[in-house]
Amino acid sequence: MSPSNIDVRVDPFSLFYIAFFPVLSTREKQLGQWRELILKYREWQPLHYVTIKTLVLHECPLWKNQSIGRELNQEGIRIVMDDFVRSGHGEWEDPGVRTRCRILWRKPEQLASDIYDWAVANGFINSVCTVYELHSGEDVNGMSFHGADEDLLRRALRILEQQGKCAMFNGDNSSEDGIKFF
């Protein structure tokens, strides 16, 4: 079984690890499987960041498979996460040292499109809602942006603002900041 065939929601600890192959085409396929696995894991378990530190590695089942006694070391995790960043699904919080990577389970452009599609489908054009409502409101349950990292959510809203599809304005606090969709 390869990582891409695993449903992490059912059995997140049965991950199959193989050594990184030196043949470029094989390694690229492997890294693609890791990207897919990280994104699937993110769907199953809220994961906004991956921290590459020895003590933290053992807390995340993505990197350790106890059933076969295998785990990915820091160098391997960094290789996986560097590829994840190159694919556009991650960003290093600290590019110089690369120890903390933000998971972009949806790219800001995709999230912006999802938010606008939701606004259109739910009658929010020419209406106002708050960042909190987009993040945690009942109307957004099941949407790709429900529970999203607030920074990522705001980046998506800035994209919509640049496209002329919304205007953002400040509330009394950050969760009360408003968005009007056009």
Tens of pLDDT, residue by residue over 20-66, are 666 778 888 889 988 988 888 887 777 788 888 754 555 677 887 77
- In this structure, are 83 and 43 located in the same domain? yes
- In this structure, are 112 and 144 located in the same domain? yes
pTM for this one?
Answer: 0.70
Last residue of a domain, one of 70, 103, 136: 103
Q: pLDDT for 87-143, tens place per residue?
A: 999 999 998 999 899 988 788 999 999 999 999 999 999 999 999 999 898 889 888
For residue 10, the model assigns a pLDDT of: 40
Last residue of a domain, one of 103, 138, 164: 103
- In this structure, are 79 and 28 located in the same domain? yes
How many angstroms separate the CA atoms of 111 and 145, rounded?
Answer: 7
* More confident call, 165 vs 63: 165
Residue 27, domain extent: 3-103
- In this structure, are 138 and 67 located in the same domain? no
* DSSP track, 94-118: STTT--EEEE-SS-HHHHHHHHHHH
CATH of the domain at 67: 1.10.10.570
What is the three-class DSSP state of 121? helix
